[in-house]
Structure 1
């Protein structure tokens, strides 16, 4: 009896051992799940998919060395240079209203209620030659005219660089606008300043489209855009002023286009500093010469004729 029990236990152990070995050697699979292929090592996968990476100029180290790469240092560089260029734009037709004049109620106003200040530079061409009023409207439109030149040039940059330059220039302009509203025009309400800033932003967007259209369609369309925006469509504007401004715009754009991206910030300030009065002088010279010639002709026509002297008889001939 004891031998039978021992034999049964041995047979049961052998059966369990065989089943365990079978389950270990043959993995379980279901009807809906196939065996996965052997896992590849990273080194073998890299060898199979190895290729030469493409190089883009906007991401190369050379461009970062030249100061045009995208980095924190680049952002600060654009911030400083854009502020310097903006100051060159804003000083062209700058003005101020003193606290003393406001306290004494000596601030002049136009018929529509717009306040007038005193030009920072009394001999600037915008106020003296073109007869524009030293007001916030004149200053903002002359500044936007200069900013348009810079905006047209930075469009040639890469997309990220263009967005950075454009945003910084626009931010400098609107910060200055709000500062003038608060200090020069005593607009203490923040809500009122924000409403005016929204109107200026709409004007800025429309100005970009109007001047772009003028550049494409010709000088007549560009002069019309300058007349509508800068001179408010006044009927008594001297056409020579429009012609001088259009000539200055064209010449400045050509000079900016010929400037390299690497020296743009330095050259742009020099180009914006060129006087607009040069174009006015060139237009005035033919008129002055024509007026002088007409006056000389009128003087000659009005003066009495000089009688001719009779020649004395020749004694030798008489002989």
Structure 2
């Protein structure tokens, strides 16, 4: 009996598409994007936008606080509330994910007609992984690192946040890696009006994103305090909180960098009409050549709802 993920992988790209090559139809594009979300819990929570063209304007608006006034009978009640808007833009960049699969590997590891379905699942999984990696670490100005061909594809959220004057930037240098003090300082820099963002009665939409190493470091700090919570967090493996705000470990977030914001404030746009897969058999080289083409971009919605922390001095 097939589980949900197996069923999803079979729906993601049908055999005909990988077999013949070409642009995915709208339904296949939706299925591919759905499978990416199914494979990556992080992508399923951010604002993942299927773009209708390579450009998309993002708009957000805010109303001012304390705009309420006492009613004035038979008088002009002048407007005291203000509504401000701002715009940002997604501009999708073309990416390519090419793979060569040898005849021998296909014979020994993948069964006949199931080959395209199996490879479709693997390609979607890797595309999701690379997307989250690039989403955080992308830097178009990178010309010297060993991974510059990957990282320079597009600016990711870290580069966007560091370059934007509207985000709140915390310097953790003086705190010597004390995660409790770092989290407290980050929360103190978040404008208080955003603390009212709740998705349930007591669950804030604001999350503190950290690397897995710093997540474990925080848990160890709790253990060192000899609290019941400290012992339980190491056993359960569940995410823990600081002052009611969930600490979320992210596999591709570098050590020493933290981000306080909401999932939905992080935007990932993918141009659905550009998803294409190609398969070419090259007998002279005893291989299959698979190619995935797509257009995507990263942005943030509201920089005021972001606090980023690292050693800055």
* TM-score, normalising length: structure 1: 0.24
The structure with more helix, counted as a fraction of residues: 1
Q: Which protein has greater RCO, CA pairs closer than 8 Å, 6+ apart?
A: 2
- Higher relative strand content: 2
Whose radius of gyration is greater, 1 or 2? Answer: 1
